[in-house]
């Protein structure tokens, strides 16, 4: 049996949505009327009683408490805001009269058909066949049911754009678990236990793990960098890989912070990779993402897993570097961290061909949400995660 029709909530109370919903209801009624008539003929053929089906059909549409006529009153008319009440009321009234007329007609016809004698049935046999074919016919002129088409979420779109830039340079894509061990998230990235750099990443630990050795304790990864180690454990050099994904920190939500956000990590390891390669790669990537007039600036910084490390800023995409509110008059926007892979990190994967005396590499990481904020001119990161369709459909 086909799925039962239920009165849908209206998306809005404008004429178009109303008439679309009314047409959906009419199509459902047509289907059920055909089904009832067919049932009636079949009941007559086997001399089976049909009154229960007829009554069920009538109650389903006209029943006082839960009938569909009552439902459209509740779901469409009562829910309508005052300014639309009059228009909605008119349509609901027309529809109600139409349904009553058609249901009563269908009920009379079905009762009559279910009582046909074998000879009468033979007489209408040809009609019955015709009727059966008609009921199976697909009326392609009926209005369709429009389903809203989804769209890429702006953060996912930014992630995909960033990944595409690096793919075009020959990078492959890697992913890793969001629930990570202390070893991969910290130890193997040269954050020893009690290292102060751990304090810069306010970490969410899984509770109740005191009995485990510290390096095996589980946490929500605070960066995508653990996938660097996981990738190097699996693949021998040379590698070039980008790692998009979700990360978590115990940050209070505000316009620029969210306890969950997205990073894209990059890692290139080979013989003779230099800081020049890092600069050239990121300069090209920033131009590909923000336009060819964008300049990049590298300033010394510190990360435990790279040495030397740098903070990369791009010339402000809003004022071109002259100074504006977004860049706090400085002309530059800090966007990512990077550096040459620390030899201590290679020591953790030395057995897989990463002898720090033979290979070198660089790594970088950027916040995809922050890049989406800049690219799409959004001023509050919370908007990305509140699921408000009015905001999200602007990106469709
Ligand atoms: Zn600016």
pLDDT in tens, 170-206: 999 999 999 999 999 999 999 888 777 777 778 888 9
Give the span between the Cα atoms of 333 and 366, in whole angstroms.
13
pLDDT for residue 132? 65
Mean pLDDT of 286-295: 95
Asked whether 244 and 264 are in contact (CB, 8 A), the reply is yes
- Output the CA 377–ligand 1 centroid distance in Å: 13
pLDDT in tens, 3-42: 678 888 887 888 888 888 899 999 999 989 988 988 898 8
Asked whether 171 and 277 are in contact (CB, 8 A), the reply is no
Query: φ and ψ at 269, to 5 degrees?
Result: -135, 135
- Output the CA 246–ligand 1 centroid distance in Å: 28
- Output the CA 323–ligand 1 centroid distance in Å: 4
- Output the CA 254–ligand 1 centroid distance in Å: 22
Average pLDDT, the chain: 90
- Output the CA 258–ligand 1 centroid distance in Å: 24
- Output the CA 165–ligand 1 centroid distance in Å: 24
Q: Shortest CA distance to 382 belongs to which of 289, 335, 372, 337?
A: 372
pLDDT in tens, 365-387: 999 999 999 999 999 999 999 98
- Output the CA 340–ligand 1 centroid distance in Å: 29
- Output the CA 57–ligand 1 centroid distance in Å: 68
- Output the CA 110–ligand 1 centroid distance in Å: 75
SS3 category, 126: helix
pLDDT in tens, 93-146: 999 999 999 999 999 989 988 888 888 887 776 666 676 676 667 777 877 777
Mean pLDDT of 62-67: 90
SS3 category, 363: strand
Provide, rounded to the nearest whole percent, the portion of the chain with pLDDT above 70: 96
pLDDT for residue 266? 97
Cα–chain center distance at 102: 43
SS3 category, 308: strand
pLDDT for residue 10? 83
CA dist list (Å): 359 to 242, 250, 265, 302, 343: 19, 36, 19, 21, 9
- Output the CA 266–ligand 1 centroid distance in Å: 27
339 Cβ contact list (under 8 Å, min separation 6): 278, 301, 303, 305, 306, 307, 308, 309, 310, 362, 363, 364
pLDDT in tens, 329-340: 999 999 999 999
Q: What is the H or E stretch that residue 243 is in?
A: strand 239-248
- Output the CA 313–ligand 1 centroid distance in Å: 12
- Output the CA 286–ligand 1 centroid distance in Å: 16
- Output the CA 157–ligand 1 centroid distance in Å: 24
pLDDT in tens, 218-243: 999 999 999 999 999 999 999 999 99
- Output the CA 331–ligand 1 centroid distance in Å: 5
- Output the CA 29–ligand 1 centroid distance in Å: 61
pLDDT for residue 126? 63
Query: For the whole model, what pTM was predicted?
Result: 0.64
Instruction: Give the 3-state secondary structure percentages of the chain, helix then strand then coil, rounded to 5.
Output: 50, 15, 35
- Output the CA 315–ligand 1 centroid distance in Å: 8
Mean pLDDT of 267-281: 96
- Output the CA 317–ligand 1 centroid distance in Å: 7
- Output the CA 333–ligand 1 centroid distance in Å: 8
pLDDT in tens, 346-362: 999 999 999 999 999 99
- Output the CA 390–ligand 1 centroid distance in Å: 28
Q: Give residue 1's pLDDT band: very low, low, confident or very high (50, 70, 90).
A: very low
Mean pLDDT of 34-51: 88
**Pairing outcome for strands 239-248 and 172-173:** parallel
Q: How far apart are the first and last CA of the chain?
A: 36
């Amino acid at each position: 049996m086909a799925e039962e029709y239920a009165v849908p909530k209206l998306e809005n109370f404008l004429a178009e949505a109303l008439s679309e919903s009314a047409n959906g209801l009419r199509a459902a009624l047509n289907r059920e009327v055909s089904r009832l008539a067919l049932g009636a003929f079949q009941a007559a053929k086997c001399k089976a009683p049909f009154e229960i089906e007829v009554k069920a059909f009538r109650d389903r549409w006209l029943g006082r408490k839960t009938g569909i006529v009552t439902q459209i009153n509740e779901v469409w008319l009562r829910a309508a805001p005052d300014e639309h009440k009059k228009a909605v009321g008119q349509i609901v009234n027309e529809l109600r009269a139409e349904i009553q007329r058609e249901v009563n007609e269908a009920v009379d016809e079905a009762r009559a058909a279910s009582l046909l004698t074998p000879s009468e049935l033979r007489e209408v046999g040809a009609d019955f066949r015709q009727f059966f074919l008609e009921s199976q016919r697909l009326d392609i002129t009926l209005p369709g049911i429009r389903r809203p088409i989804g769209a890429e979420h702006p953060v996912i779109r930014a992630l995909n754009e960033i990944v595409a830039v690096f793919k075009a340079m020959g990078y492959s894509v890697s992913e890793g678990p969001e629930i990570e061990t202390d070893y991969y998230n910290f130890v193997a990235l040269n954050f020893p236990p009690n290292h102060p750099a751990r304090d810069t990443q306010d970490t969410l630990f899984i509770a109740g793990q005191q009995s485990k050795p510290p390096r095996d304790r589980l946490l929500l990864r605070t960066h995508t960098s653990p996938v660097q180690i996981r990738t190097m454990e699996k693949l021998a050099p040379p590698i070039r890989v980008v790692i998009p994904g979700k990360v978590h920190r115990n940050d209070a939500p505000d316009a620029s912070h969210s306890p969950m956000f997205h990073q894209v990590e990059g890692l290139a390891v080979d013989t003779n990779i230099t800081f020049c390669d890092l600069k050239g790669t990121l300069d090209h990537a920033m131009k590909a993402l923000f336009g060819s007039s964008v300049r990049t600036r590298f300033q010394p910084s510190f990360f435990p897993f790279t040495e030397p490390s740098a903070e990369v800023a791009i010339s402000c995409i809003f004022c071109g570097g002259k100074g504006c509110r977004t860049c706090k008059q400085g002309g530059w926007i800090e966007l990512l961290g990077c550096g040459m892979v620390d030899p201590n990190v290679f020591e953790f994967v030395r057995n897989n061909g990463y002898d720090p005396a033979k290979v070198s590499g660089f790594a970088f990481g950027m916040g995809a949400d922050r890049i989406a904020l800049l690219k799409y001119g959004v001023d509050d990161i919370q908007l990305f995660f509140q699921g408000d369709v009015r905001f999200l459909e602007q990106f469709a």
